[in-house]
Amino acid sequence: MKNIPYRIILSEQHIPRQWYNLNADMKSKAPPLINLDTKEPVTVDDLSHIFCKELSKQEIDTENAYIDIPDGIIDWYKTCRPSPLVRAYALEKELDTPAKIYYKFEGNNTSGSHKLNSAIAQAYYAKSEGITHLTTETGAGQWGTALSMACSFFGVELTVYMVRGSFFQKPQRKTVMQVFKADVIPSPSNLTSSGRAMLEKLGEDTSGSLGCAITEAVEHAVTHENTRYVLGSVLNQVLLHQSIIGLESKKAMELYDEYPDIVIGCVGGGSSFGGLIAPFMKDKIEKTRNPYFIAVEPTSCPTLTRGKYAYDFCDVGRITPLAKMYTLGNGFIPSADHAGGLRYHGMSPIVSKLYDDKLIDEARAVEQTSVFDAAVKFSRIEGILPAPESSHAIKVAIDEAEKCRKTGEKKTILFCLTGTGYFDMSAYSNYLESKMINYVPKNEELQESFDKIPKA
């Protein structure tokens, strides 16, 4: 065994030149998106009036396991990639565990998160196809921040519909997006017909949801000339771009003859988790290795642990294609008290299929005060202030390491530290001042939302 440094820093030559399309290697493919009008699987033509054409091709590609990354994207990846794989020696010592803990740190860029991996790709393809304007939604603001950076790089205009609750809780996120010339709008808004309808139904004081913001962003895209919509999670194309996380992680571990026994990630829409597990899941599918995968979500938005596996709309306005996924129902509005961005009603079709097929071994829902317990402990020991989203994975990584202390097992644990928490000071303040609450939706609330899932 080689001596393992604190940070395993790959060189530029180790940046993957191809993304890995996990769906191509899955024995049982993720079910396709369904066109509402034809009731058939969507085609490139169906999608390309909403998305860029190349992204539409990536979305439905189930044949090509590896897709070349254009040089124009590689050039921008070099500004922050490869990202470091860190051995958490200090945390291991504090926990007195025989486990080895590694985390892939994706916060080494101005946007502060993994979201830039897909934002750069989507803005690049828009520019290449002559698209002048993009629209999107953002929850906690990580995606909106990353996409505003990417659009600024490539000279593409951007309109961001930001979940209303986050818009007012995190004004600094809005400011950063505006630095990069994005137009940021609290959703639901009065600027779209769908937004006005949602405000009338939910009231002016609604905190909104990602589903609401998606509806507005899609409406904006299809009603404005030379405009396309882009999404920061859930879709197959986004998991494809995020596979760079797992590919780099695996390469870094191979350099030191390491392989994870347990792979952990937070899940909201599933992009970072899907990207992290992709090359390790390939090993599991091919039965060359058998890592244990844990997806961690908040108890306030328990998509995998309490949701239904069904075809559902990706948005509240029910204008998107149908996706088969674990869902809480397209009308689900998460608690405004939840501090993290993991509050989307549905889960990536790829992650959902893998979980339903039991290739993802476990989904675990955790309460947010325990998440912030872990976040503060991690900050004080490892010296990085993590995003609330990332801290869900930290919480479970600590739990698994403590199990190893009790059993004496020397397991290797890998998790993704998706980003930093420097725009989440109000959440940290609420935690430190004991104002944070743990909201768990009642069965009746979920049932009301389940009733809105299409019956077909």
DSSP state of 12: G
Q: Is 39 helix (H, G, I), strand (E, B) or coil?
A: coil
- Of 104, 107, 350, nearest to 248 by C-alpha is 104
DSSP state of 359: S
Runs of H (alpha helix) within 96-209: 116-128, 142-154, 164-169, 171-179, 193-202
| Distance, CA of 129 to CA of 227 (rounded, Å) | 11
Percent of the chain with pLDDT over 70: 99
Taking 70 as the threshold, does the pLDDT of residue 2 lie above it?
Answer: no
When pLDDT is cut at 50, 70 and 90, the band that residue 456 belongs to is: low
| Distance, CA of 148 to CA of 138 (rounded, Å) | 11
Instruction: Identify whether 16 is preceded by a cis peptide bond (ω within 30 of 0).
Output: no
Q: Determine the pLDDT at residue 101.
A: 98
| Distance, CA of 243 to CA of 249 (rounded, Å) | 10
CATH class of 18-67+113-229: alpha beta
How confident is the model over 118-168, as pLDDT tens digits?
999 999 999 999 999 999 999 878 999 999 999 999 999 999 999 998 888
Q: What is the C-alpha end-to-end distance of the chain, expressed in Å?
A: 55
How confident is the model over 316-372, as pLDDT tens digits?
888 889 999 999 999 898 887 787 789 899 999 999 999 999 999 999 999 999 999
Give 68: exposed, middle or buried? Use CB within 10 Å, 0-12, 13-18, 19+.
exposed
Token pair listed for 25: 């290697």
How confident is the model over 302-321, as pLDDT tens digits?
999 999 999 999 988 888 89
How confident is the model over 373-383, as pLDDT tens digits?
999 999 999 99
Asked if 265 and 296 count as a contact pair (C-beta separation under 8 A), the reply is: yes
| Distance, CA of 375 to CA of 370 (rounded, Å) | 9
> Are 7-14+82-111+235-450 and 18-67+113-229 the same fold in CATH?
yes
User: DSSP of 51-93, one letter per residue?
Assistant: S-HHHHHHHH--S-SEEEPPHHHHHHHTTT-SPPEEE-HHHHH
Neighbouring C-beta atoms of residue 133, cutoff 10 Å: 18
How confident is the model over 389-420, as pLDDT tens digits?
999 999 999 999 999 999 999 999 999 999 99
Q: Global pTM?
A: 0.95
How confident is the model over 427-442, as pLDDT tens digits?
999 999 999 999 999 9
Taking 60 as the threshold, does the pLDDT of residue 241 lie above it?
Answer: yes
- Of 266, 332, 359, 328, nearest to 26 by C-alpha is 359
Taking 80 as the threshold, does the pLDDT of residue 3 lie above it?
Answer: no
Q: Break the chain into its structural domains and give their ranges.
A: 7-14+82-111+235-450, 18-67+113-229
Q: Determine the pLDDT at residue 23.
A: 97
Q: Determine the pLDDT at residue 65.
A: 98
Q: Determine the pLDDT at residue 319.
A: 84
Task: For residue 210, give the H/E element and its range.
Answer: helix 210-222
Q: Is 164 helix (H, G, I), strand (E, B) or coil?
A: helix
Section 232-259 average pLDDT: 96
**Residue that is written with structure tokens 């009338």 in the block:** 200
Task: For residue 158, give the H/E element and its range.
Answer: strand 157-163
How confident is the model over 84-129, as pLDDT tens digits?
999 999 999 999 999 999 999 999 998 999 999 999 999 999 999 9
Query: Packing angle between helix 236-254 and helix 349-356, nearest 10 degrees?
Result: 70
Token pair listed for 324: 């088969």
7-14+82-111+235-450 topology per CATH: Rossmann fold (3.40.50)
Percent of the chain with pLDDT over 90: 85
Token pair listed for 112: 């502060």
